[in-house]
């Protein structure tokens, strides 16, 4: 669509004035100069945004429903003003709706005779027109002030709230997020009686839905009330609270690695940690070189999950723990149980898939083995003709007394360098269910070890193996790591020295 002649001349003048700025290389600016340019361009953009909002609001006013086919949008063959603005401006319908909503909120109500009334939020309009108030902040302020109007607060109180929010935002350079937090606090101060009605609206909006995707994933959407979010967040933070440290370093937990401490493998790898002359940990400016073996060990045992992946693993663990509680509702006399079907051939071969009741997508045998170690799972083993060869029992799980004994022996996750405490660990069967050494249902202390969820999953999928020797768990590295595959004792028992110290003595 052609540009209005008046704006065309403005753009021509701006092109001359901004040509030097737009064509300049930002790399040649100092830090202070770069930030000054960013702030200046943002203010210029705010001036343009203010005009966009104001003109979009006018389009909305000329397209109001009571005008029918005479309205602007319908007369231009558009079903809504948002679609009209989208087509003319070349932006998304969602962006058009945002501009229209704010533009119409800033317009005065039509009075008798079609005369437009005074602006409801003059201070917000002034801030936008001066380029000192961002559109996002204006949306926040006008929404909260409109809510106060709807609650019946006096006009002078709403005007004072609007002025206070605009002044605080502009004076202190608040971001829209900070303005939103301030607006909520001000709203609660001015309208304490509105908390209950607002909470009732939120209660009605809470939801949790799931749907199966074509790729086999089960995806969901949720909306939590503030108190529900508090329970979720505090529970997740409680399970993720230990600091993430390098395996082998002193710290609360070694569930992951710090990406800033990675380096290239070679004769040694530099890290920012160092040991002082007396053997005490000390921070120094120089790097500390670790051996290639230590670097490889740190790399292969590092927890490389994203924050989102850690969150879903944590919520799954919380649900699993709650489902196993004795006071949970029972179904057919049993607590929550995962039913898995797998063929004997796949189970013995360690490959293939199994099927979980209620889930369409199959899971690999390695995932079934992990579930059977720690989760309340009933595994139904089928023959070649589909006959039931064995119906498993949830009793293959370790009892609380056995888990306490394992905690005393292992001291937590037995994986080298991991210091997850026993409460964070799952119990792994060293000799799998299908082995003739441990018949179905046999769950002994000398066949169990403690592993955190991450290393438990890692063990079932990697070439590393766990064995028991003299009642002590040993990790067997893959041949590429150690051609001799020498078992490494892993117990963290504190009442005796590790076996290697006894040998040295």
DSSP structure string for 236-280:
HHHHH-SPB--TTSSSSB-SS--GGG----SS-EEEEEEE-TTS-
* Same-domain check for residues 375 and 475: no
- Residue 63: the pLDDT is 96
Where a domain ends, among 155, 185, 215? 185
Distances (CA, A) of 29 to 26, 35, 40: 6, 9, 14
Q: How many Å apart are CA 369 and CA 396, to the nearest integer?
A: 12
Q: How many Å apart are CA 211 and CA 209, to the nearest integer?
A: 7
Q: Which of 407, 405, 412, 339 is nearest to 378 (CA)?
A: 339
Q: How many Å apart are CA 141 and CA 176, to the nearest integer?
A: 9
Strands, E assignment, 361-505: 363-364, 377-382, 388-391, 425-429, 448-452, 465-469, 472-476, 488-489
CB 346 within 8 A of CB 353: yes
* Same-domain check for residues 481 and 391: no
Q: ∠373-377-380 over CA atoms, to 5°?
A: 110
417 in the Ramachandran plot: left (φ > 0), alpha (ψ -120 to 50) or beta?
Answer: left
pLDDT-wise least confident of 31-45, 126-140, 184-198, 467-481:
467-481
Averaged pLDDT for residues 382-395: 53
In a domain, 460, yes or no: yes
In a domain, 462, yes or no: yes
pLDDT confidence bin for 40, thresholds 50/70/90: confident
* Same-domain check for residues 141 and 120: yes
In a domain, 218, yes or no: no
pLDDT confidence bin for 381, thresholds 50/70/90: low
- Residue 146: the pLDDT is 95
- Residue 429: the pLDDT is 78
Question: What backbone torsions phi and psi does residue 218 show, to the nearest 5 degrees?
Answer: -105, 115
207 vs 259 pLDDT, higher one: 207
* Same-domain check for residues 109 and 62: yes
- Residue 382: the pLDDT is 61
* Same-domain check for residues 485 and 350: no
pLDDT confidence bin for 450, thresholds 50/70/90: confident
- Residue 70: the pLDDT is 94
Tokens of 299: 């790399």
Structural domain containing residue 47? 5-185
In a domain, 481, yes or no: yes
459 vs 71 pLDDT, higher one: 71
- Residue 262: the pLDDT is 37
pLDDT confidence bin for 495, thresholds 50/70/90: very low
CB 168 within 8 A of CB 124: no
Q: How many Å apart are CA 86 and CA 99, to the nearest integer?
A: 10
Where a domain ends, among 135, 168, 185? 185
What residues contact residue 408 under an 8 Å CB cut-off, 6+ apart?
Answer: 493
Q: ∠463-468-470 over CA atoms, to 5°?
A: 150
Helices 122-130 and 93-106 pack at an angle, to 10 degrees, of 120
In a domain, 35, yes or no: yes
End-to-end CA gap in the chain: 88
* Same-domain check for residues 345 and 422: no
* Same-domain check for residues 137 and 40: yes
- Residue 501: the pLDDT is 44
Among 20-34, 266-280, 416-430, 432-446, name the most confident range: 20-34
pLDDT confidence bin for 290, thresholds 50/70/90: low
* Same-domain check for residues 479 and 450: yes
Q: How many Å apart are CA 435 and CA 197, to the nearest integer?
A: 62
Q: How many domains does the chain have?
A: 3
- Residue 242: the pLDDT is 60
* Same-domain check for residues 472 and 366: no
Averaged pLDDT for residues 496-502: 46
* Model confidence at 367: pLDDT above 50: yes
Among 9-13, 195-199, 488-492, name the most confident range: 195-199
pLDDT-wise least confident of 66-70, 265-269, 363-367, 411-415:
265-269
* Model confidence at 252: pLDDT above 60: no
* Same-domain check for residues 456 and 371: no
Where a domain ends, among 169, 185, 201? 185
Q: Which of 462, 440, 442 is nearest to 451 (CA)?
A: 462
CB 120 within 8 A of CB 158: no
CB 382 within 8 A of CB 403: no
Residue 116 DSSP symbol? B
In a domain, 104, yes or no: yes
Q: Which of 354, 355, 375, 379 is nearest to 365 (CA)?
A: 354
- Residue 295: the pLDDT is 63
Torsion over CA of 442, 444, 449 and 452, rounded to 10 degrees? 60
Averaged pLDDT for residues 328-337: 59
pLDDT confidence bin for 383, thresholds 50/70/90: low
Percent of the chain with pLDDT over 90: 36
In a domain, 280, yes or no: no
pLDDT confidence bin for 273, thresholds 50/70/90: very low
* Same-domain check for residues 363 and 460: no
* Model confidence at 376: pLDDT above 70: no
Q: H or E stretch including 100? A: helix 93-106
Coil, helix or strand at residue 51: helix
pLDDT-wise least confident of 167-176, 256-265, 347-356, 486-495:
256-265
In a domain, 482, yes or no: yes
309 vs 433 pLDDT, higher one: 309
- Residue 264: the pLDDT is 36
What is the per-residue pLDDT across 137-172, written as a single tens digit (0 to 9) for each?
999 999 999 999 999 999 999 999 999 999 999 999
What residues contact residue 204 under an 8 Å CB cut-off, 6+ apart?
Answer: none
Q: Which residues pair with 9 in a beta bridge?
A: none
* Same-domain check for residues 355 and 433: no
- Residue 301: the pLDDT is 60
Residue 87 DSSP symbol? H
CB 195 within 8 A of CB 202: no
* Model confidence at 279: pLDDT above 60: no
The residue whose two tokens read 């390098």 is 246
Across the chain, mean pLDDT equals: 77
* Model confidence at 479: pLDDT above 70: yes
Tokens of 415: 């994986």
37 vs 334 pLDDT, higher one: 37
Tokens of 305: 């999950």
- Residue 269: the pLDDT is 41
pTM: 0.61
- Residue 289: the pLDDT is 67
Q: How many Å apart are CA 325 and CA 139, to the nearest integer?
A: 47
What residues contact residue 437 under an 8 Å CB cut-off, 6+ apart?
Answer: 431
Averaged pLDDT for residues 474-494: 78
């Amino acid at each position: 669509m052609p540009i209005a002649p008046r704006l065309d001349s403005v753009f021509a003048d701006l092109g001359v004035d901004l040509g030097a700025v737009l064509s300049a290389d930002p790399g040649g600016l100092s830090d202070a100069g770069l930030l000054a340019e960013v702030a200046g361009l943002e203010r210029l953009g705010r001036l343009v945004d203010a005009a966009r909002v104001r003109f979009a609001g006018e389009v909305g006013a000329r397209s109001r429903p009571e005008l029918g086919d005479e309205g602007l949008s319908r007369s231009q063959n558009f079903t809504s003003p948002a679609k009209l603005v989208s087509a003319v401006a070349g932006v998304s319908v969602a962006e058009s709706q945002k501009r229209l909503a704010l533009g119409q909120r800033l317009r005065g109500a039509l009075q008798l005779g079609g005369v437009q009334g005074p602006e409801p939020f003059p201070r917000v309009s002034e801030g936008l027109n001066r380029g000192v108030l961002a559109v996002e902040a204006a949306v926040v302020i006008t929404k909260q002030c409109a809510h106060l109007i709807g609650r019946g607060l006096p006009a002078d109180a709403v005007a004072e709230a609007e002025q206070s929010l605009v002044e605080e935002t502009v004076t202190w350079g608040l971001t829209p997020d900070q303005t939103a937090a301030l607006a909520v606090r001000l709203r609660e101060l001015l309208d304490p009686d509105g908390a209950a009605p607002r909470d009732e609206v939120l209660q009605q909006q809470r939801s949790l839905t799931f749907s199966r995707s074509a790729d086999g994933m089960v995806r969901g959407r949720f909306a939590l009330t503030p108190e529900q979010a508090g329970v979720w967040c505090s529970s997740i933070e409680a399970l993720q609270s230990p600091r993430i440290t390098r395996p082998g370093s002193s710290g609360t937990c070694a569930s992951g690695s710090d990406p800033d401490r990675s380096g290239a493998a070679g004769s040694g790898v530099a890290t920012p940690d160092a040991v002082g002359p007396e053997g005490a940990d000390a921070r120094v400016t120089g790097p500390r070189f670790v051996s290639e073996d230590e670097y490889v060990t740190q790399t292969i045992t590092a927890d490389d999950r994203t924050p989102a992946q850690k969150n879903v693993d944590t919520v799954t663990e919380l649900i699993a723990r709650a489902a196993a509680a004795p006071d949970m509702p029972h179904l057919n006399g049993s607590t929550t149980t995962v039913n898995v079907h797998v063929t004997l051939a796949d189970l013995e071969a360690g490959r293939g898939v199994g099927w979980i009741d209620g889930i369409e997508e199959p899971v690999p045998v390695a995932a079934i083995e992990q579930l059977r170690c720690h989760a309340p799972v009933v595994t139904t083993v089928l023959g070649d003709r589909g006959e039931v060869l064995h119906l498993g029992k949830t009793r293959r799980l370790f009892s609380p007394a056995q888990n306490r004994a394992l905690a005393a022996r292992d001291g937590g996750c037995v994986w080298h360098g991991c210091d997850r405490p026993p409460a964070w660990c799952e119990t792994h069967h060293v000799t799998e269910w299908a082995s003739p050494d441990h018949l179905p249902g046999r769950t002994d202390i000398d066949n169990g070890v403690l592993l955190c969820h991450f290393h438990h999953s890692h063990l079932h999928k990697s070439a590393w193996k766990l064995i028991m020797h003299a009642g002590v768990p040993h990790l067997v590295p893959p041949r590429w790591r150690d051609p001799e595959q020498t078992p490494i004792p892993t117990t963290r028992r504190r009442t005796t020295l590790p076996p290697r110290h006894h040998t040295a003595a």
